[in-house]
Chain A
Amino acid sequence: METNTKTVRISIVGFGYVGAGVAEVLRRKRTEIARKYGLNIKIVGVADLNGIFIDDNGLDEAEMLKLRTGDKSWEKPGDMTTLDVIKDVEHEVMVETTPTNVVTGEPGLTHIITALESDRHVVTSNKGPLALEYTRLMELATKRGKELKFEASVGGAMPIISLVRENLAGNGILSIQGILNGTCNYILTRMAEEGLPYEHVLKEAQELGLAEAEPSKDVDGIDTAVKLVILANSVFGLNATYKDVEVAGIAEITPDALKLADDAGYVIKLIGEVDGAGCLKVKPRLVPRDDPLNVGGTLNVATIKTDLAGDITVIGKGAGPIEAASAILADIISIYNT
């Protein structure tokens, strides 16, 4: 069996909760991945703002995870930079999990470009570079004969990009409509169920760690809009950017409005919608109570309208380190199982 196992060396750039999630998933699944897919995935580099660890023989995941709990301190070998790790440490796949910046795309954008130019495959959860420079990055990947995969960037664990590209191959995709932000879904679900005002539930979500202290990225629809741009470009072959999206958020939604919606047989959800004609919209919408898009809590959902298969709806956890790592792991495996 050993002879059939291919070693895949990866670096994790950005060791926040998603990057650490990848390490955790590899720790749990190493034997299974080797047995099922014949892949021995080794982390040979971890790079973060705080420091760098490298080991050609593979870093111990349990050790690396201690960095997150504070049981281990960050170090830095000499004056090595993150870009040095991407360029100079021999590996096959760079996993880019730094935080999204929708204005500049950095530092993810430079990381991805550097990795592709160093002939490494890239798997990322970072929305910024994809929303800003999708076409350029894909062209670079194609030119270098490398893969650039990003399932984790839209819908977390919920498969949507590979679902459309692979399982629904041959179908014309008419539109995709869905809830792509778990924070907004949590807030609207709680407001509707408990009749509580927006500010109250937002505070509760912040206390639970479901919303950030500065929540505008989520509640103003920006995060959903960025994901729509990625779908527009990757699924519909458009060349859209954030500016092409008509965006409204949920801050104005009142308990009264939710009650009126309920009386009429609806719930209110923040819905992102994209179609092949290039119409990209993020708006609170009325969703019939019995529609598959009516999912509660922090769940994400998307209905894909196709010309052959009809409507397909997928539901899944949109956030969480292990959930995002699930999508990243699937992307890594798919590079070697085509």
Chain B
Amino acid sequence: MKISMAIELQDIPGQLVLALKPISDFGGNILSVLHQRDKKTPAGRIPVQLVVDIEEGRLERLVERLEARGVNVVRTGKERLKESMVVLLIGHIIHSDIRETIDSIDSTGFAEVVGLSLSMPSVNKESSASVTLSAVGKKELKEALNILERTANGKGIMVISPI
């Protein structure tokens, strides 16, 4: 699971390594580090933004370990999906297993289907759906659209994407 984490370090050498070491000890993968040396807190600490991929069950123990090392953990939260896009689907959406289509996006880890609105005129007719995709960044959003198009094309569903 992707976690964003805001921590604060003491302004003395070696603190960043001290903070990052426990993450790998707990099997976490550091995806990004934003080290803001020029933006000290009123208490003179240095704020750092991290994005970490770690098993959900290990997060609490990681936070405890960091605190024990003198690292302030200000906030943790699931990585926010920043970029969104609405895409329309036309075809036999339900019959062709919409769940699988959605899973193809959700299983990426960087994008999710966050909205779905379906319109079905009658059982045997083609239905239309608007799907809202969200992803951690623009590049990931584009990749999510590619995956959706590939999955849908294989099922004979038309994908209408924004210009």
**Interface bin, chain A:** 20 to 34
CA distance A288 to B163 in the complex (A): 8
Contact partners of B15 in chain A: CB under 8 A: none
What residues of A have a CB within 8 angstroms of the CB of B91 in the complex? 252
Q: With an 8 A cutoff between CB atoms, is B129 at the interface?
A: yes
| Residue contact B127 to A266, C-beta cutoff 8 Å | no
| B130/A263 in contact, CB under 8 A | yes
* A260 and B163 in contact, given A248-B158, A286-B86 (Cβ under 8 angstroms): no
Give the chain B neighbours of A261 by CB distance below 8 A.
Answer: 88, 130, 160
Chain B, interface size: which category?
10 to 19
A261's nearest neighbour on chain B, judged by CB, is B88
Chain A residues within an 8 Å CB radius of B119 = 256-257, 259-260
Would B160 and A254 count as touching, CB distance under 8 A?
no
Contact B88 A260 (CB under 8 A): yes
Chain B CB within 8 A of A177 CB: yes
CB neighbours of A266 from chain B (8 A)? 86, 162
Do residues B163 and A284 form an inter-chain contact, with CB atoms below 8 A? no
Determine if B90 is an interface residue (Cβ-Cβ < 8 Å): yes
Q: Which of B88, B121, B126 contacts A286 (CB 8 A)?
A: B88
Chain A residues whose C-beta falls within 8 Å of the C-beta of B129 in the assembled complex: 260
- Binary contact track B78-97/A, C-beta < 8 Å → 1, others 0: 00000000111011000000
Asked if A268 contacts B128 (CB within 8 A), the reply is: no
| B interface residues (Cβ-Cβ under 8 A, vs A) | 86-88, 90-91, 117, 119, 121, 126-130, 158, 160-163
Since A257-B160, A285-B160, A285-B163 are in contact, a sample of 17 more A-B pairs with Cβ atoms closer than 8 Å, ordered by chain A residue number, is A177-B163, A252-B90, A254-B90, A254-B121, A254-B126, A256-B127, A268-B160, A271-B163, A283-B160, A286-B86, A286-B87, A286-B88, A286-B160, A286-B162, A288-B162, A288-B163, A291-B163
Pairs A–B under 8 Å by Cβ, sample size 5: A256-B119, A257-B88, A261-B130, A268-B160, A287-B162
